[in-house]
Structure 1
Amino acid sequence: MTLLIDHPAPRVRRLTLNRPERMNALDGHTLQALNDAVRDCAAAGSEVKVLVISGRGRAFCAGNDLKWLASGVLADRSAHMRHQDLMQDTYERLEAAPQIVLASVNGFALAGGFELALACDLTIADEAAQMGDEHIRRNLLPSGGSSQRLPRRLGLQRALYYLVTGRRMTGREAVELGLAVQAVPAMQLETATLELAREIAQADALALASMKQLARRSMELPLSDGLRYERWMQHCYRTQSPSLEAGVHGFAGTGGD
């Protein structure tokens, strides 16, 4: 199995990329398995409050499996586009999931693996981890969203610096840049991740989902609309709306409460 699924703590589900011989690089089968698992987790609702993404072995994820791509996928434009679409869909599912998604980054998180971490809500990293978008080093463009997510996280100049040089950062540097919340020695990574997951999982599931949506929408909305959205979501939470969709899609935007 290229993706392992377990429940290491109450209300916590963990998805572990399981291709250690390929540094957990993403081929079509693995990416589809990840997409399906994220979809199933989102459908689980309050049964799962925290979703952890990790990698087995010496890497979190080295990005797309270049050997697999070269086996015929790159030569087939339609197949390549389907893979890129699946990657974007998977990462967007992580952002839209009602769970808080933690990336537990060990070893290498490069290119599409770096983009996977960017799509998660919070990242805890091995302090010596090697993280970065290396597409430019192979004369490629991102397909997992780093060109859009990184500037929103770092600002234009700093993000462009990492995008056009392909330089890596350590887990400790990722914390300094605001791309990770904590960096710990590799041997402590699993413990630190599960400690944070358990802490978050103590909160009400609807409150967590609502807070996640509020924070993510703050990156898109003008302040005045964001404040109206906060009031709307507060109302939805107080009245215990049966679905978060009522809060997200019921919001009228500018000029409405």
Structure 2
Amino acid sequence: MSNELVIEDVEPGVRRLTLNRPERRNALDGNLLDALLAALSDARSASPDLKVLVLAGAGPAFCAGADLKWLSSGVLADHGAHIEFQEKLKALTEAIEAAPQVVIGAVHGYALAGGLEVLLACDLIVAAKDAVIGDEHIKRNLLPGGGGSQRLPRRIGLSRGLYCLLTGHRMSGSQAEEWGLACASVEEPELGPTVLAMASSLAERDGRALDAMKSVARHGFELPLSDGLWLELWTQHRYRSRSQAMDAGVADFARGSDRARSLAGASDGAQA
């Protein structure tokens, strides 16, 4: 495994993948993409015991985008090599979306262009309030290749998405939360603990339930409502046939309700 990616099992059911090219602000090159794709493949085989992946960056940034210095060293001049790089980036974002784990993007510093594209594929995004997030392809007369033009409008709406894509607007972590891109924004020193607490809470759930919930929401989002409702029912039946966790959860709730009613009755009797 490349030393450009640090892989740590930080809590039961939680694995952190840390982009580790701090001297390049974790810019994406071929080796880092290969390492991320391999790590996601390994995580898929570890499901359902591995329930959450945290994607983070070492040093001063989450990911400043594609490594333009590396690309200009010969990759751009080789049409085939450039296409291969773009296809790997596309494959990475699709692998993040398709992962059976919940993937949390923990963003601090910069998340720009290709870095934003990786972030957009995550299920949940938690940002440092002063993070700098944006798609800057247009500023260099480039176009996205990792899904930015498609995912950004879906996450924040067409009007705001076009504004960001056409102007290269940089949003803060606070604005990312305001616009619905991030589910939370916190002061940077709190980013790690906040993400770990969220991941640990998610890891208490049944892994198959998390996978099914993520899958039905993502696939249903692209369907008409009537089709999505049928997909929801089908997913529920399929999940129940593969896991006893649903029955156990219902039974546990029923026991808790019975106990609550019993305690309420005892309290009423004491007052009488």
Provide the rounded CA distance (Å) in 2 between the counterparts of 1:63 and 1:44.
29
Provide the rounded CA distance (Å) in 2 between the counterparts of 1:42 and 1:232.
22
Is the Cα contact below 8 Å between 2:26 and 2:63 reproduced in 1? yes
3-state secondary structure, aligned to 1:47 = coil
Where in structure 2 are the equivalents of 1:43-192 lying within 5 Å? 43-192=45-194
Counterpart code for 1:235:
H
3-state secondary structure, aligned to 2:221 = coil
Where in structure 2 are the equivalents of 1:185-200 lying within 5 Å? 185-200=187-202
3-state secondary structure, aligned to 1:7 = strand
Provide the rounded CA distance (Å) in 1 between the counterparts of 2:9 and 2:82.
33
Counterpart code for 1:214:
V
Tell me which residue corresponds to 1:35: 37
Counterpart code for 1:68:
W
1:17 pairs, out of 16, 19, 26, with: 19
Provide the rounded CA distance (Å) in 2 between the counterparts of 1:183 and 1:239.
38
Is the Cα contact below 8 Å between 2:109 and 2:131 reproduced in 1? yes
* CA drift at 1:241: 6.6
Number of equivalenced pairs: 242
Is the Cα contact below 8 Å between 2:220 and 2:231 reproduced in 1? no
Provide the rounded CA distance (Å) in 2 between the counterparts of 1:164 and 1:219.
25
2:207 pairs, out of 205, 208, 218, with: 205
Provide the rounded CA distance (Å) in 2 between the counterparts of 1:64 and 1:102.
21
3-state secondary structure, aligned to 1:46 = coil
Counterpart code for 2:220:
S
TM-score, normalised relative to structure 2: 0.88
Provide the rounded CA distance (Å) in 2 between the counterparts of 1:141 and 1:31.
19
- Between the two proteins, what is the percent identity of the paired residues? 55
Provide the rounded CA distance (Å) in 2 between the counterparts of 1:82 and 1:231.
39
Tell me which residue corresponds to 2:218: 216
Counterpart code for 2:147:
G
Provide the rounded CA distance (Å) in 2 between the counterparts of 1:176 and 1:11.
30
- CA distance change for structure 1 residues 241 and 200 in 2, over 3 Å: closer, same or farther? closer
Unaligned runs of 5+ in 1: 243-257
Counterpart code for 2:128:
D
Unaligned runs of 5+ in 2: 245-272
Provide the rounded CA distance (Å) in 2 between the counterparts of 1:39 and 1:71.
29
Tell me which residue corresponds to 2:248: none
Counterpart code for 2:205:
A
* Between structures 1 and 2, the one with greater helix share: 2
* CA drift at 1:47: 2.2
Most deviating of 37-46 and 50-59: 37-46
Is the Cα contact below 8 Å between 2:53 and 2:103 reproduced in 1? yes
Counterpart code for 1:36:
A
Deviation above 4 Å: which 4+ runs of structure 1?
none
Provide the rounded CA distance (Å) in 1 between the counterparts of 2:153 and 2:69.
29
TM-score, normalised relative to structure 1: 0.93
3-state secondary structure, aligned to 2:72 = helix
Counterpart code for 2:208:
L
3-state secondary structure, aligned to 2:185 = strand
Counterpart code for 2:172:
T
Report the structure number with the largest CA radius of gyration.
2
1:12-34 deviation per Cα after TM superposition (whole angstroms, max 9, x unaligned): 01100000000000011111101
